[in-house]
Amino acid sequence: MPERIYNFSPGPGTLPQEVLTQAAKDIVNFNDKGIGLIELSHRSKEFMAVYAEAEAGVRELLEVPDNFKILFLQGGASTQFAMVPMNLLGKNQKGTYLNTGTWAKKAIKEANIIASAEVAYSAEDSMFNHVPRDSDYTVAADSEYLYFVSNNTIYGTQFKELPKSDKMLISDMSSDIMSRAIDFSKFGLIFAGAQKNMGPAGVTLVIVREDLLDRVADTVPTMLRYKTHAAKDSMFNTPPCFAMYCVGLVCKWLKANGGVAGMAKKNAEKAAILYDMIDSTPFYKGHAQKDSRSLMNVTFNLPTPELEVEFIKQGTERGLDGLKGHRSIGGCRASIYNAFPQQGVLDLVAFMQEFAKANS
């Protein structure tokens, strides 16, 4: 087994080696101050500088407009399934949802507990192997927003373009945040768990338009209001300090490696190598329809479940780890987020060629 494996896991995903090295040093002795990063008071000037750097890094990389607040919250992206309708919908209001996978279904369930979710499109009958075209759905005239998951980690699908809507867009971007540019003029809010493309698990990024903060009802608990956290610059309570710090480091790494535009180009190149391999032989079959294929999560099957088990086993032995598909659909999945190196994709393709030849 090599000293460092290739981590194809859907999350927590691969982080840049430089980030891991710096974080390991700072956990023990932050900036040579004789105290570890995770011991620092979140109210100290040292940590406030960490927060400011992370916030500025996100704002610069994603070109976040001044009228949006950047929040670092806890509870994972799953908490946002409820916080979005809690903060943006009144009791008799509704949001329109596109059901393109497991995480969209969970968000729809939460929205229906709090207010009302109208499902304008569902890809469930096709095992979520595609995302809809604009002509496939209609957003209700009395809806407050259109909610969609930009990249579906489990099924390997991704919106190539923003869904069309006269209403503001709300998006869960947990698995493709910072992989491409975002047109914020279309959005009211986006959110993303950090553990796939931005840092370690423990912090969730929320970027919300400021004028929406006052929509929240007084009956919503204090900690579940975006306004609470926006007013205190994510410091209302002790935040996920280490994870926020790592987001800042990842932002530095991204800026040094071409920024979001550079990542978009590299991600397209990596995914093309892998999809070309899948398309070159009937031994492998991609799950997602070609026009919906994700650049972050490549899902595929082999001729039999038994061969898939052997493929995953042999891949793991070669340092190609995390290739097992989600338990809900099986098969195989290679997650190739921003920090995943192209050489890892090339090594996987070489293994796929060998395995297909040996088992055809």
d(CA 9, CA 172): 19
**Alpha-helical regions (H) of the chain:** 17-28, 45-62, 76-88, 102-114, 226-231, 241-256, 259-279, 305-317, 342-359
Catalytic residue among 103, 176, 252, 270: 103
Give the burial string for 75-98 (b: 16+ CB within 10 Å, else e).
ebbbbbbbbbbbbbbeeebbbbbb
d(CA 203, CA 76): 7
d(CA 127, CA 123): 7
**Alpha-helical regions (H) of 172-304:** 226-231, 241-256, 259-279
Catalytic, 253? Answer no
Question: Which amino acid is present at 252?
Answer: K
Catalytic, 186? Answer no
Catalytic residue among 196, 227, 252, 266: 196
Catalytic residue among 26, 94, 167, 172: 172
Give the burial string for 199-238 (b: 16+ CB within 10 Å, else e).
bbebbbbbbbeeebbebbeeebeeebbbbbbbeebbebee
Catalytic, 172? Answer yes
**Alpha-helical regions (H) of 70-190:** 76-88, 102-114
Across 106-186, the runs of DSSP E, i.e. the strands, are 116-122, 143-149, 151-152, 157-158, 168-172
Active-site residues, by number, are 103, 172, 196
